[in-house]
Structure 1
């Protein structure tokens, strides 16, 4: 059955109305050598029962994130999300809501965005936060572009500790408008090499970009980096993939970061096979007009009643192109709503409790795993949050393959991004991992590695 609503009579009437002889005439502007002269290489159509059987076969190839036992993180984290969030997201006024251009009809959506902004700004320690962006990578790229606009400089120093895929997206964004991104190496403690940066900082550098915690789970000294960047007239951009860390550690904005951008997935969103997620973005009040995306504000109507409106929309279709800051046009509204629900549900005390459990269980696994012969911490003196680098006695890809066979994903083999760390795993621990889960990992590591 073909799902095409138009009958041949419908098509004939439309062609007559627009003055075209047939459908093929609509494609005359496409050169013959650019047209496909054969059918697409697709399998034959299936009946509905056959299609359902085929989809079931495909679905069986997937494994739920709870099986195998997973210690994967690297920018996407498993945290417990209260069941009430998914249920509330099904409400029609949220699930199908579009951009709230008409405030008189969109007060609920606008208030939800406003509350999201408020909580994100408080968590990041910034004066203001926008209505969200697509994800952490695009938020990072927008932060770099914003720093370049404000400083009117073109060079950007990016730490190797920033998620490697975020670096790629930022480079792609900047390539088209003559930006120059230079990657700064890490030192022996897993933090950004400050001596290397000091040699490269000059009057042409727009910003220094760090991650907190960085890709290897190590915390940076943001206050020191702020002083260094400021002394050269550059801005400090801090990238975040695990914002729950700031329930126990000082927020980047409070340490002097000019722009804080990153990923909000860890705040109540499932891994979702890599998306959809929720970009977060905060900055100082002085820079608000250079901020990408939208900003929702609270005001009063002519009768003095409180209400919410879109206060700022600095995208190309709303204002003159030369005044626009970004062509990103849609915030992740439903995902931002879920993040706002999560933060409201757990509250400041609950988020701190989650963060402290993350810390405690990570330290517990560190202590257990170093007792296994051949295993050690790559950065034993580093302060980490819920992720750390584990040095193994063999190639990490091979080790991960062996553990996969026994139902365990032990972490991310780092050779994919750092060739010099080919024998290392990036191991993530959160509150969803029990002590028995940690023991199971350690027992499996001890069994698969030959003594």
Structure 2
């Protein structure tokens, strides 16, 4: 039996109302290469068991991280997920919880978000954090918009070390509002110098640590130059575990910090979902997007939690809203907070230290492989290597040997042929000595 919520007449009425001739006309801006060339022949019906088998057969075509020696990263990282975390977030109180509009019946949700904010503020070295964003890329875009509101300026400079998804989302988010977003070329060697590009027209400079290609930098001098020009410094990260070992963005002088929190919340999951971390200086609190939970006391003097700041169009007049993001990644934020609580400060820093040690060992061994050059002179748990062959071709060859060697830079930068041989390799606590042996042996064979 088919279930279609709209009749043919319903659809025609809707198309007429918006001035479209057909459903296909709604997709005219989608590139032809992204559209299926012809109608898909779907059977009228299948039983639940048949559908499960069909989906399982499709899934079996993928080589996932649990089946191979996996060194995938590039903004989405694989860490061990404690069994307690998965159990807790599936409890009904968390899994089915909705936006806490009524604090008197949502104290548990509000307290978790309050703890989440505290953890994010501490790990980034900032004074205040919100109750999460959709993901790191949208958080980055919101940070640039926030900087524009604060400075009243219309120019944003994005470092070539920023993840392309963060940079492109920021550009898409702001280009229709009259803001000029300049994205610098990819900084594969970590040689970019931004201080000379700072001028009085900038609303903000956006940088990333560790950089997309793994490089680590202290942005303290850049922060001084940015502040002297009356602009703000936005620091992004795609691997928040690095903050357990590195100098925090707050210590470097950042005004706003954004991050993708997936690596400390959920498994890699073929790219998602994620959770956006967002923190800033307290003086910019009222320009922060999203919402913020606060602690208070009730009429009886008992501790309680409420939504302290809700500058979204759902709560205030649309023209006064600081964000059009209508919700947060509440369940993923809960998972992040639970994992951080299970780790504790000692576990967090210890895990960060172990990740770095594993990556250093991997880089040392890969550098000894003939034809391999390590490009990242400093890094946390991910670094870039290069060889004369196509990185994408090498990855495919090693996948046939059950080794997911990393992510080719060309996947993100197809218009930069000089990056065709660059591969991003991420090493975490999930990579065993046997995994590294397989990667080294595979590269020796493929590159010989």
- TM-score w.r.t. the length of structure 1 is 0.90
Alignment match, 2:46: 47
**What are the residue-to-residue correspondences of 1:112-261 with 2, within 5 Å?**
112-185=112-185, 189-194=189-194, 197-198=195-196, 200-261=197-258
1:322 aligns with 2:319: yes
Structure 1 residue 42: Cα displacement: 4.4
Query: 1:413/1:40 Cα in 2 relative to 1: closer, same or farther (>3 Å)?
Result: closer
Structure 1 residue 183: Cα displacement: 2.0
Alignment match, 2:72: 72
Q: Distance in 2 between matches of 1:139 and 1:232?
A: 24
Residue pair 1:408, 1:441 contacting (<8 A) in 2 also:
yes
- When structure 1 is superposed on structure 2, of 251-260 and 395-404 the one drifting more is 395-404
User: In the alignment, which of 376, 386, 395 is matched to residue 381 of structure 2?
Assistant: 386
Residue pair 1:191, 1:218 contacting (<8 A) in 2 also:
no
Residue pair 2:161, 2:187 contacting (<8 A) in 1 also:
no
Query: 1:205/1:51 Cα in 2 relative to 1: closer, same or farther (>3 Å)?
Result: same
1:283 aligns with 2:270: no
**What are the residue-to-residue correspondences of 1:97-112 with 2, within 5 Å?**
97-112=97-112
Residue pair 1:192, 1:220 contacting (<8 A) in 2 also:
no
Alignment match, 1:414: 409
Q: Which protein is bigger by CA-based radius of gyration? A: 1
Alignment match, 1:445: 443
Q: Distance in 2 between matches of 1:26 and 1:392?
A: 54
Alignment match, 1:56: 56
Query: 1:375/1:235 Cα in 2 relative to 1: closer, same or farther (>3 Å)?
Result: same
Structure 1 residue 440: Cα displacement: 1.5
Query: 1:156/1:28 Cα in 2 relative to 1: closer, same or farther (>3 Å)?
Result: closer
Q: Distance in 2 between matches of 1:109 and 1:191?
A: 45
What RMSD, in angstroms, separates the aligned Cα atoms of the two structures? 2.2
Secondary structure of the corresponding residue to residue 266 of structure 1: helix
Residue pair 2:188, 2:375 contacting (<8 A) in 1 also:
no
Alignment match, 1:395: 390
Alignment match, 1:367: 364
Residue pair 2:70, 2:435 contacting (<8 A) in 1 also:
no
Q: Distance in 1 between matches of 2:132 and 2:337?
A: 11
Q: Distance in 2 between matches of 1:275 and 1:362?
A: 23
Structure 1 residue 384: Cα displacement: 0.6
Query: 1:444/1:301 Cα in 2 relative to 1: closer, same or farther (>3 Å)?
Result: same
Alignment match, 1:343: 340
Residue pair 1:395, 1:422 contacting (<8 A) in 2 also:
yes
Query: 1:54/1:220 Cα in 2 relative to 1: closer, same or farther (>3 Å)?
Result: same
Q: Deviations over 1:147-167 (max 9, x none)?
A: 011000011110011001111
Q: Deviations over 1:338-359 (max 9, x none)?
A: 0000000001100111111111
- When structure 1 is superposed on structure 2, of 316-325 and 350-359 the one drifting more is 316-325
1:355 aligns with 2:340: no
Secondary structure of the corresponding residue to residue 393 of structure 1: coil
Q: Distance in 2 between matches of 1:123 and 1:249?
A: 10
Residue pair 2:265, 2:332 contacting (<8 A) in 1 also:
no
Alignment match, 1:14: none
Q: Distance in 2 between matches of 1:306 and 1:324?
A: 29
Residue pair 1:140, 1:170 contacting (<8 A) in 2 also:
yes
Secondary structure of the corresponding residue to residue 262 of structure 2: coil
Q: Deviations over 1:40-85 (max 9, x none)?
A: 7542312204333322321222333222211110000001111100
Aligned residues: 429
User: In the alignment, which of 258, 270, 275 is matched to residue 273 of structure 1?
Assistant: 270
1:428 aligns with 2:426: yes
Structure 1 residue 305: Cα displacement: 0.9
Residue pair 2:289, 2:311 contacting (<8 A) in 1 also:
yes
Q: Distance in 2 between matches of 1:29 and 1:105?
A: 39
Q: Deviations over 1:127-161 (max 9, x none)?
A: 00100000011001000100011000011110011
Structure 1 residue 413: Cα displacement: 1.2
Alignment match, 2:9: 24
Q: Distance in 1 between matches of 2:188 and 2:53?
A: 53
- When structure 1 is superposed on structure 2, of 46-55 and 222-231 the one drifting more is 46-55
